[in-house]
A and B are shown apart, each in its own frame.
Chain A
Amino acid sequence: MSGPNGRIGYRQAEQMSPPPAARASDVAITRFEDVYEVDPRLMERWVLQQTFPNWDTLRIMHSRHDHLAWMHRHFAERVVSGAELLAELDAEAPTGTTEAPDASPSEGGSP
């Protein structure tokens, strides 16, 4: 495990000190890119928020991505990009009739 100084090692204090939270919506916060948490104020009575070391939070996220990538491979040899097809549609459109660009993908969104 690599610490912030690049050395191999595990520092309890580092792992248990997540980056500061930024508000993602009125009910969610974010501390790592692509990782969203329920606002801790909503987890005070019936379900209490758990504390994870940073590495475990990131492991869970990466595992989820691995799982979804596996599922794609399981059902088809490859995935066609919708963005690529939309770009082709734009290129095929006669000059002057190109439609307005689509909304860009959400910043930091992850399945």
Chain B
Amino acid sequence: MSLTADALDHVVSRLQGVLRADQVLTSKADRFNRARTPAPFPVHRWSERVPDVVVLPESTDDVVAVVRLANELRVPIVPRDGGTGLTDGAVPLRHGILVDVKRMNQVHDIDLDNRTCTVGVGINMLKLNEVLGRHGLIYPDNPASYPCSLVGGRIGTSGWSLIGSRYGHTRDLVLSFDHVLPTGEVMHVGDGVGGNITRSSSGYQLKHLFMGHQGTLGIATRATLKLFPKPEAELSPFFAFSDYDTAHRCVGALARAGVATFAGAVLFDEWKVAYLRRDDEAYIPQPSDVKALVCTALYGWEDEVRVGGKRLLRIAREHGGRYLGDEISEGDWAARHDRYATPLHGRTRSGQVVPMSWHCEDASIAYTNLPAVTREWHAIVAELRRRTDVFDDWGMFAYTNGATGIDYLTEIDVGIWEQQLGEEAWRLWVQAKRDIAAVTLRYRGSISACHGSCREGEVDLVPEELGRGYGVMLDVKRALDPNNIMNPGKYGLDRAYEGGGR
């Protein structure tokens, strides 16, 4: 429950003692605008997820002061970066203090000799790369939210990158960071003591523990990142197929080819092609026999990209792929860097256009299990759609997780008519999420490749996925956050404390 008026006055007064007045926000607009993350959000329950107060720290010391205060007063505290995550990490389920890190957006240092930079975690990757581009460098962490997500959120969610098969994902790209623990102590996370070490065998390897915790173990404030030469050339051919199985064989062959500049391959299924054909102008003219698409992307020096590209083009042709042409190939790939800007609408079962927000359920699935999981996930969403117009199946993607093609980030996109959401539709949705996660585990995958798995429905199955590891999670949470102030209510971690949540 929210703080009482008297308790809130006290908290605000204490916060104003450690921060400037303009760093402490209490207006309704300031709080409601920081309550939600991308869809589906239970808009009918919006007021249950609003912070009591918002703070805007500008330094690690500011964050330390706020966290210490929250721990002393036993007030929930939730870090928020871009607010673009898809598993509600930044949603304050128990109200309290919301820490918006956007003012910590400085580039502190660019080390051209060691190829690193040190930044405040409130910086956005696009803005950072505008600075790095002047030095011929790039920080290649590239989510679908690239223009609007922040480095700190990428750490808190252990993000997945569109070009991660070439450059690695967030956990590979973030070398080290300063991290404020739930008790207010500052810990330097990463190998070595200097911040720019990529390999260490000294002690426990804690970096992964403090990435992807969805704000339950503290707040990153300043990070040192690995940089690469800005690519000289890019190639992103798209191919059409008449059936899914052939496209599946093709994407596997591309991923297994061992081309050094390979940055990723993507498989679009029949539902996705149908969605694009009705809603995305690039695909409307595609002939009706196109039932699946495959694309691949390469980055690097032009001579390398041309040689590697020809090898992959030959493979795609040998699998019967029909090239979609430069215009669609290049345009669609560029749009993949910025999926949050796409205006969305779905269809009722009668075909009428309705406003819908986008959600995608993700998982990591082994290559050989993709066809079966695809069929079963669509059956779950088909049942949702059979029961109500609130949901629409927008198809599935499978993206390579890495360069050798073992497993894929697998997503089903679901349009949700938020204005029509009520308790019954929400219940159906949560059950569908649970069912989708159950299919994933039955096929020996992970419930999430990139979003995290702490939303209603999926979170119920996390103990099943982690086994004894979930007990270790509870032990770690209790040891580091003795008063359960840091983003309480996520991942079922309340059970680490006697008496459950606050």
Contacts and interface: CB of A to CB of B under 8 A. Distances in A.
Interface of A: 24-25, 27-28, 34-36, 38, 42-47, 65, 67-69, 71-72, 74-83, 85-86, 88-89, 99, 102-111
B285 A44 contact: no
A82 B295 CA distance: 11
Contact of B323 (A28, A44, A47, A86): A86
Contact of A88 (B280, B310, B329, B345): B310
Nearest to A37: B281
Contact of A103 (B230, B302, B323): B323
Contacts of A107: 285
Nearest to A108: B285
Contacts of A105: 323-328
Q: Which 4 A-B pairs have the closest CB atoms?
A: A111-B331, A105-B325, A76-B234, A82-B237
Interface of B: 126, 129-130, 133, 138, 142, 230-237, 240, 277-287, 299, 302, 305-306, 309-310, 313-314, 317, 322-332, 334-335, 337-338, 345, 347-348, 351-355
Contacts of A102: 317, 322-323
A24 B126 contact: no
A35 to B, nearest CB: 7
A75 B352 CA distance: 38
Contacts of A36: 281, 284
A45 B389 CA distance: 14
Contacts of B351: 27, 42
A24 B284 contact: yes
A69 B337 CA distance: 12
A79 B352 contact: no
B278 A76 contact: no
A111 B332 contact: yes
Main secondary structure of the interface of B (DSSP, over half): mixed
Given A89-B314, A110-B328, 10 more contacts: A27-B278, A27-B351, A76-B232, A82-B323, A82-B329, A85-B309, A104-B325, A107-B285, A111-B282, A111-B327
Contact of B313 (A28, A77, A85, A103): A85
Most A CB within 10 A of own CB, among B234, B280, B328: B234
Contacts of B347: 42
A42 B349 CA distance: 11
A72 B348 contact: no
A91 to B, nearest CB: 11
Most B CB within 10 A of own CB, among A35, A45, A76, A89: A76
A35 B305 contact: no
Contacts of B332: 111
19 contacts: A25-B284, A47-B345, A65-B331, A68-B330, A68-B334, A68-B335, A72-B330, A74-B126, A75-B299, A80-B234, A82-B237, A85-B237, A86-B313, A102-B323, A109-B281, A109-B285, A110-B281, A111-B280, A111-B331
Nearest to A47: B353
A72 B305 CA distance: 15
Contacts of A47: 345, 353-355
A38 B234 CA distance: 32
Contacts of B231: 75-77
Nearest to B419: A46
Given A76-B231, A79-B234, A105-B327, A85 B284 contact: no
A71 to B, nearest CB: 4
A80 B233 contact: yes
A83 B323 contact: yes
A79 B345 CA distance: 31
Contacts of A86: 313, 317, 323
A71 B337 contact: yes
A79 B142 CA distance: 18
Contacts of B133: 74
A33 to B, nearest CB: 11
A104 B332 CA distance: 17
B338 A71 contact: yes
Contacts of A34: 281
A42 B351 CA distance: 6
Contacts of A35: 281
Contacts of B353: 38, 42-43, 46-47
Contact of A75 (B138, B278, B345): B138
B354 A46 contact: yes
B285 A46 contact: no
A105 B332 CA distance: 13
Contacts of A99: 317
Nearest to A38: B353
Most B CB within 10 A of own CB, among A28, A34, A69: A28
Contacts of B282: 109-111
B388 to A, nearest CB: 14
B335 A85 contact: no
Nearest to B347: A42
Contacts of B235: 79-80, 82, 85
Nearest to B420: A46
Most B CB within 10 A of own CB, among A24, A77, A109: A109
A29 B322 CA distance: 25
